[in-house]
């Protein structure tokens, strides 16, 4: 039995595909479009299952096929991430070593290097990419245990503040009453009944 003939496509999906191909002006037959779609799906599935390779620069991960650039004295120098290494002038280097080889000591690789990530059109400074990563990490929600701990600390702080306010109010009310007692009043402050 032929495997291709046992595969059935729902009639509505087949009709929709025919209509799409006709309206888009494609010269593909529905069968050819189905074959291309299946191969594309299989390739994407394989690519998604493959481990991601690249260079880990402290907290910043630079994926494979990324390009690095540094400008110095009017010239641009380039490197590329190949598998798990940055390759500059045919040898594996760290970002700092690349910057030192180009401009000598005293250079800040985070500030001087620019990175073009795969699929991107614009270069981004390494420092900006690192800052974006740190901002995203700061915005990530706390774990349930961390959230409970933070809530308990906030409640404890609020209770401590409330108790301090109650104690202060009690102290103030006690002092006010003591000041009005006759023994604390000056003689000329007391009013006589004949006025």
What is residue 163's three-state secondary structure? Answer: helix
Domain borders along the chain are 54-139, 141-170
Percentages helix, strand, coil for the chain (3-state, rounded to 5) are: 55, 15, 25
What is the pTM (predicted TM-score) of this model?
A: 0.51
Q: Token pair for residue 64?
A: 């494979």
Say what the alpha-carbon torsion angle 150, 151, 155, 156 is, to the nearest 10 degrees. -30
Edge to edge, the sheet with strand 91-93 lists 91-93, 85-88, 75-82, 67-72, 114-116, 124-125
Per-residue pLDDT 10s for the chain (195 aa) are: 455 455 788 888 889 989 998 999 989 898 898 889 889 988 888 877 767 889 999 989 999 999 999 999 999 999 999 999 999 999 999 999 999 999 988 889 999 999 999 889 999 999 999 999 888 877 776 677 877 888 888 888 888 888 888 887 777 666 555 555 556 556 665 566 665
Q: Strand pairing partners for 61?
A: 56
Cβ count within 10 A of residue 77: 17
């Amino acid at each position: 039995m032929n495997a291709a003939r046992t595969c059935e496509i729902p009639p509505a999906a087949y009709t929709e595909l025919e209509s799409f191909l006709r309206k888009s002006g494609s010269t593909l037959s529905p069968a050819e479009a189905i074959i291309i779609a299946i191969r594309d799906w299989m390739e994407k599935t394989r690519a998604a299952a493959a481990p991601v390779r690249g260079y880990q620069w402290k907290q910043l991960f630079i994926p494979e096929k990324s390009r690095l650039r540094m400008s110095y004295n009017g010239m641009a120098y380039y490197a590329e991430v190949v598998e798990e290494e940055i390759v500059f002038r045919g040898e594996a280097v760290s970002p700092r070593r690349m910057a030192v080889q180009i401009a000598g000591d005293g250079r800040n690789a985070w500030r001087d290097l620019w990175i073009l990530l795969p699929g991107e059109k614009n270069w981004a400074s390494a420092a900006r990419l690192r800052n974006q990563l740190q901002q995203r990490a700061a915005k990530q929600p706390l774990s349930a245990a961390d959230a409970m701990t933070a809530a308990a600390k906030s409640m404890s702080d609020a209770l401590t503040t409330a108790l301090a306010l109650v104690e202060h109010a009690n102290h103030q009310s006690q002092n006010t009453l003591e000041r009005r007692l006759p023994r604390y009043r000056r003689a000329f402050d007391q009013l006589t009944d004949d006025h």
